[in-house]
Chains A and B, each alone.
Chain A
Amino acid sequence: MLILRPRDIACQQAVELVTDYLEGTLSRRDRRRFEFHLRGCPNCPTYLEQIRLTIQATGAIETDDLTPEAKADLIELYRRWRSE
């Protein structure tokens, strides 16, 4: 079977495909072109890795704890709502 070598894309185009690539929404053709570019590029794999690390670190953002005052206010509201 003849396998055509995909036409390479520039790094500037590749960075625009990263999210669709990670979301699995690229067409088969674009995915092949993107992966072909990654294999030959010294920088875009690093870029993709940086995006992955960014996503991971965003997922590690902690949510503040509820302050005792806010909690007390909400309990008071709850009691009022229940009695209305």
Chain B
Amino acid sequence: MDLELLSRLRNGDEEAFVMLVARYHESMLRLARSIVSSEAVAEEAVQDTWLGVVRGIERFEGRSSFKTWLFRILVNRARSAGAREQRHALVESAHVVDPTRFDTHGQWADPLEQWAQESDDRLEAAIWAPILKSALDELPPRQRTVIVLRDVEGLSSDEVCAVLGISGGNQRILLHRGRSRLREILESELRKD
């Protein structure tokens, strides 16, 4: 689908541009916001990326998916526009689950609750998605970027590494912390009901 639009874009087809924008613009903004700290800078980075696409579409060789190529351009623009301060980096805990949840033998002190007993997982997922959407904002930026690319946008781990220029091991650590934190937030929200 993208490939057809891209060949139309090469021929200067405005409608193809509009369709690509409709498909990716909001995803790009979400990704940019996880890298830079101001909305204005995020919007500028996304706009710059579109300019880069319009001017540099000939350089897209089709070796990666268009989405991966697009996100990589965006990450580079956003980073050079000014990455967030990594204030959380040094105080991040080594544990992904609050240590007080375990007894002295490292076993769960209290039983965990089943979340989706005999119900439709997909239905639950749709209900919980808004909780997770706001929970994303609570993640440290680098974790949020990886979660957005991997779990929201559905990129593979290799693609995430290519977009961000990080190692597989580094990606897994960020993914691990991010997913664990999202589970924790979801758990505390579900307990409120």
Contacts and interface: CB of A to CB of B under 8 A. Distances in A.
Nearest to B174: A19
Given A19-B179, A71-B18, A50 B105 contact: no
Nearest to A44: B108
4 cross-chain pairs, A with B, having the tightest CB-CB distances, nearest first: A10-B106, A19-B176, A12-B106, A57-B128
Interface in B41-69: 47, 50-51, 54-55
Nearest to B177: A19
A23 interface: yes
Contacts of A19: 172, 175-176, 179-180
Contacts of A23: 157, 172, 175
A25 B157 CA distance: 12
A69 interface: no
Interface in A45-64: 46-47, 49-51, 53-64
24 contacts: A10-B102, A12-B99, A18-B180, A25-B168, A42-B111, A44-B108, A47-B112, A53-B121, A54-B132, A54-B186, A56-B122, A56-B125, A57-B128, A57-B131, A57-B132, A58-B132, A58-B152, A59-B125, A59-B151, A61-B129, A66-B25, A74-B50, A75-B18, A81-B51
A43 B176 CA distance: 19
A33 to B, nearest CB: 14
B70 to A, nearest CB: 14
- B contact residues, range: 35 or more
Contact of B133 (A61, A71, A78): A61
Contacts of A10: 102, 105-107
Chain A CB within 10 A, most for which of B125, B126, B157, B168: B125
Given A13-B106, A19-B176, A65-B26, A58 B147 contact: yes
A62 B116 CA distance: 21
Given A43-B108, A63-B27, A78-B14, A55 B151 contact: yes
